[in-house]
Structure 1
Amino acid sequence: MRYCLNPHCPNPRNPDDTEICYSCSTKLLLNDRYHAIKLIGQGGFGRTFLAADNAKPSQPRCVIKQFYPDEQTNARAAMQLFEQEAQRLKQLGEHPQIPDFYDHLEQDKHQYIIQEFIDGQNLSQELATNGTFNQTQIKTLLKDLLPVLKFIHAGQIIHRDIKPDNIIRSRQQELLYLVDFGAAKYATATALAQTGTVIGSAEFIAPEQLRGKATFASDIYSLGVTCIYLLTQVSPFNLFDITENVWVWKDYLVDNLVSDDLGQILDKMINNSLKERYHSVDEIMTDLKIGQFTEKLSHISLAPATQKWQCIHTLTGHSQPVTSMAFNPLIKQGEEGILASGGADWTIKLWSLKTGQEIDTLIGHTDKITAIAFSPDGRFLASSSCDRSIRIYHLQRQSLIHKLLGHTNWVSSIAFSPNSRLLASGSFDKTIKIWNVQSGKQLENFVCRGYMNWVKCLAFHPFQSILASGNGDNSIYFFDLHNKSKEFFLIGHIHIINSLAFSPDGQVLASASDDKTVKIWSLDTRKVINNLSDYLVRANTVAFSPDGKILAAGKDDNTIKLWYLEQKSWQLVSEDAMMTLTGHSDSVTAVAFSPNGQLLASGSVDGSIKLWQCGTSSAPQCV
């Protein structure tokens, strides 16, 4: 069905494939691309429709927001908020827990915003269906949403309307999305100093926001009030004692235990005093220990001598050597994970981790693929090639969004920044370029100088704006993208650097070289603290396990070496804490751990990829 967008249409429902409304002759396609399917929401500012994108073969679902204020709404103020929402969504860029912004346009004297459709329930609906949340659910909610809030605030945006209605849990991924940026405000120093319009839902907004003085801490307050409402299912107005000027939400907990630690965190989030409240998301994440590697994977807790890495799949499809591999970083429990591989056959292949079958082949490069990488937010896949180009694919849209040109020789390596906004590329033309992922525009061009020669490999620090490059002159160079005075070298290898990997906690860097060594460098002392060398064969590639306890290396003797490390000293946990995996018939050129650490992938010059799973036995084997 196609639904007419004319607010005055007497019969807006039309059959599929109709281009002009039967009842009012209004054009049914918006921007010759989107058509409404049904009305799913209506408020003071306008209407919201479930829609479809006709420009794509699968006609994926999307959302059309139509500006159509009711008679009681201040039309001029409402128009400003509607245009403001479009502007904020453009500014934010893309995040896996914020619906994608597609378009903002005007047609038939009405303004529209087109966004990604999130199929799911908001938390108000979930609360009504399932009852109060317990403390485990609240901790999970905070761990899921605080990084989103941090992302928004990093873009200098205050949401100003965080509440259960504006948090949606997707049915497919169980992922929480933050929606409705109609009240969002751009937080410049001038704006923060000014008194503005009071916007937001009264039950959930902070005292300073009621006075028109919203700050980043106002969003923290609203998220905290959302949590205590979900714990009690009682209106926040009733959870605050105005006579005593204190929160009494704990009095309304019914058979719902909340630990003292969590209670203190929530109390600090909803403190009426800005001085006493959390000032940043990072402070809450620190108290909740989000991002710290406190959870031990079951297979890592085993002693190395009792572990068995078994080859559960051998993936064959590349007709020439496998040159690079990467796991999609957003593999969740129950999901079918994806592994991407690049080859000297000019192709990129996507593989199902569940079945070991090839899902898709991406073509377009006209020479050997040198590197592939998923963005940390799981939205993009990038590839580089000896054809001097870089390609960026949008995974959800299943389309190529950028072909980046500018290098004058082979592009040897690529790396995404931790926030997924930047892509670095290194080349045999002796330059490193920094690209804006969303626009595809080149932002920086570093010309190799001094010790530096052509660039073989790149790696971004997991938390900071530091980029490391491994070079043809045997050096490792560090760039601080925010402070160029902090650039420095590491000298120690006596041959080409083939691969670099930061430990997940960002404390050390591992490097593999043609000099037949794998070294671990301290970033504090800038010295080698472990030299994992047999001096027999070249080391082509290195990767840390997600918890940092295993370092894997692919070598020219057709094997994968695993070293089990003690993280404080970065030495082997015991004398026999090393393992060798065999099964390839030629050099191992790429290794990668899955995000949950349960799988290790290895790619080889023999054209195959092997997926290894950890269990308990005395020796590794490939079956």
Structure 2
Amino acid sequence: MLNNRYEILEQLGRGGFGETFLAIDTRMPSRRKCVIKQLKPDDTTNTAPTPGWFEKRFQREAAILEELGQNNRQIPQLYDYFSEGENFFLVQEWIEGITLSQKHQQEGNLSEAQVEKILRELLPVLDYIHGRGIIHRDIKPDNIILRASDGKPVLIDFGIFKEVNNINGGNKTVPLGTPGYMASEQAAGHPVPSSDLYSLGLTAIFLLTGKTPQALTSDPNTGEILWRKDAPHRPSNLAAVIDRAVRFHPRDRFTSAQEMLTGLPGSAGREKTSVVVPPDTKILPPSRFERWFWVIFIVITGGFSFGFGHPIIKPWLDYLFPNEPTVKELPLIEPSSQINSFVLDEDGQTLVGGDEKGNIYLWEVATGKQKKTIAGQGKAILEIAISNDQQILASSSEDGTIKVWDLKTGKERITLPNQRGLIALALSSDGNTLVTGGKDTTVKLWNLSTGNLIETLPVEKEVVSLAINQDASIIVSGHSGGDISFWQKQGSNPYEPRIFPSINPWTAPSVAVSADGTTAASSSCQENIRIWKDSDWKDSPLQAGSSADICLIVISEDGKIIAGRSSDETIRLWNLNTKKEIFSYSPSSPKSFDSPRMIALSGDGRTVASNFDKKIQVWRPSF
């Protein structure tokens, strides 16, 4: 019995991420059946970067699954989630029916009309999840159930839940999925929406031919999969759609599930299936580690068995030597008024901004569309910050007020005492502590549960920037004249300050600190980025040359990625472990640059945003 409620009937599956069970909900009058998925964090390789990391990540992924299931009947509903000890559990709807694998086993190869019907009913589901920034990552015949009640295909076993177990991936995902049905970019840890279309295309080929991906042959010159000769129905129009879906390179596939749906035979106004290169996709090489890891993986799992010219093996080798992972340029966010401050949430799904009229807006990053407005403070918003769990929002206004909001409901929680001359604020990622500073040459700490002032730290110069770690044991402040102050607190002892003089007294530094407090950074428009480590708090330059003239910086929650915006408006990202630049964007044409200039980085380091031409551009680089 799990959670004193769920009676286990049988084990449905077991893997490296946990186990899946069929159970009965004993608290429901109907004693309905349900599916319980258990996640076991891998303690041997994963150490949470901050306390409660697994719990917060699990809750966030559960919330996503809840939303998906509530709004689409071809995705199982989420009934419940809970934890017991070190394990986490999802309780989902049990779908009565048979998988596509079982249907093929019972009936043999399906007809063109049957496969087309499945695609036509499943592609809108993919269009729905992709529009919300979700990639399934494990589409295959076993993960599509034909519901007994209406025959509709239901998509199960989202890879999103499995990724909770990945905390060491940093700016890339673990290669979740099934070998063979996995596109090469997904196998290298860089899934894109068309990776799902690739898997769906191979699923269609299996239904038509009975051939698994490993049993297919390929063109020796192009490496493209040759499957039509194995299809007894020889479906010409449908084949053209499937051919494009399973192209090796993402740029040669359909750009969206909707485009693939339009391309199906008989679709009104369907487009030709010619190659379209998305305008927002750039190509970068994979890391050397990734290349050789996957060469070893391929050799062990089938390189010698299938041969290196095999349609599954050859494209992977072509992809890895060399490949070019994508840099996704997401839809522009176009505010209706001037935005003075914005931040990205932990996983880069939502951008929150405050404007010159005192209002706060929330935009969906995947679509660029506004999804919520909070009527704010009357006067222009100066700074905003959000907690890591996306529950708390703090905002400051030019009239000196600071308000704390419930980000989910949009309701005001507390208003802090008026602070004239306020310039900077920062919020601990757990949402408990707010730190403020400005022209009064003090740094103030506030308890956001009570609204009370915790402590006032005196400084010699006005505060122009602030950063705070998760438990408020480290505070970093930048001052007019370029000095940097570190405030460190151990246990019940008072904060101990350390002052680092500026190299150039005419600068206004930007500062940042990781959630765990082990890494801090500062920058100005006339110096290299300076990095501090908590082992000795001695600073060192990030990288000579490319980190010079960086005016604004921000660090990912785990301290692995730092993003900066330079005086020439170039956006750069660095890996702090290697101190090497991993992403760069420079405007290709003159732009009307906004004031204030801003940059934001999601907590997981995968999404970066900046403002140009009164618009906000968002990127998702893959490294």
TM-score where L is the length of structure 1: 0.49
